Amino acid sequence: MERLGSKDEVRQAVGEARREGKRVALVPTMGALHDGHLSLVEAARERSDLVVISVFVNPTQFGPGEDFEAYPRDLQRDMDLLYAEGVDIVFTPTPEVMYAPDAQVTVDPGLLGSVLEGASRPKHFAGVCTVVAKLFSIVGPDLAFFGEKDFQQLGIVKRMVLDLDLPVKVVGCPTVRECDGLAMSSRNAYLSGDEREAATVLYRALCRAEKLALGREGDARVLQEAMREVIDAESLAEVDYAIVADETTLQPLERLGAGRARALVAVRIGSTRLIDNLALEVV
């Protein structure tokens, strides 16, 4: 496994692999790796000959007062995990390597970037799209792997690839959960013992919506209210949104049935903001 810090080194290493006819996969991460990330690495390894992982806490996707400084960082642990997974290249640029001091051009995520997470975190998806577009340009992967836990991010990256004709296939992978249903996230490390228990409320709320949908409740407002009720019953939790939306447009639905639906929640547990989502099957 090679750790590379410069764009040129990555381009050269990937270029050599390409000349040998290898299929290249990229898994973009911000480090603080957990089993969710490792499931993306495994999916990437199964479908490619050269696996590149980027580890970069991207400053441009954090807003003022958000957790950029506090975001967990443990590169040695990440490297050990990636080595054990048989990764080929770990790209670990600094912000100075990624961004020119006078950088000006960014990728506008459009309407999809203004709802849900985008409404609470106004420049977040412009930062995500810009860094992901840059990683695609530096690495030039055939395939790129993202988790469904960040469902809106996955949809926006797919849309960016479509709208900007980027030559990469984006692959979404299922959310990996703890035994009690909590979606794995690097931010779970912020939770105290009590908060960790309370954090199961996100999955419990989503399961409530899923159960109603399976029981043929078609009114999205009923599902939304039911999710809020579950979250409101948890004293350490404060709901940001609990919504049933169209999977593609992420616009709120009035009724289930037309198109695929997704329940999405964002909840503050103490000072930690967590998100999760679940597909709603209509039978």
Look at residue 146 and give its three-state secondary structure: strand
Quick one: which of 85, 88, 117, 150 contacts ligand PAF (CB under 6 A)?
150
Q: Which is nearer to ligand PAF, 81 or 132 (CB)?
A: 132
Q: Which of 45, 39, 49, 25 is nearest to 135 (CA)?
A: 25
Of 37, 124, 149, 273, the active-site residue reads 37
DSSP-derived secondary structure for 244-273 = EEETTT-PBPSBSBSB-EEEEEEEEETTEE
Is residue 37 among the annotated active site residues?
A: yes
* Smallest gap from residue 109 Cβ to ligand PAF (A): 12
Task: Return the exposure string of 57-91: e unless at least 16 CB atoms fall within 10 Å of the residue's CB, then b.
Answer: bbebbbeeeeeeeebbeeeeebbebbeebebbbbb
Residue 225 region, left (φ>0) first, then alpha (ψ -120 to 50), else beta? alpha
Element (H, E) at 151: helix 151-163
Quick one: which of 30, 168, 227, 245 contacts ligand PAF (CB under 6 A)?
30
Q: Which is nearer to ligand PAF, 29 or 277 (CB)?
A: 29
Q: Does 52 bind ligand PAF (CB under 6 A)?
A: no
Quick one: which of 61, 152, 175, 277 contacts ligand PAF (CB under 6 A)?
61
Local structure of residue 177 (DSSP, 8 states): B
Number of chain residues interacting with ligand PAF (CB under 6 A): 10
Q: Does 58 bind ligand PAF (CB under 6 A)?
A: yes
Q: Does 175 bind ligand PAF (CB under 6 A)?
A: no
Active-site residues, by number, are 37
Contacting residues toward ligand PAF, per CB under 6 A:
28-30, 58, 61, 128, 131-132, 150, 153
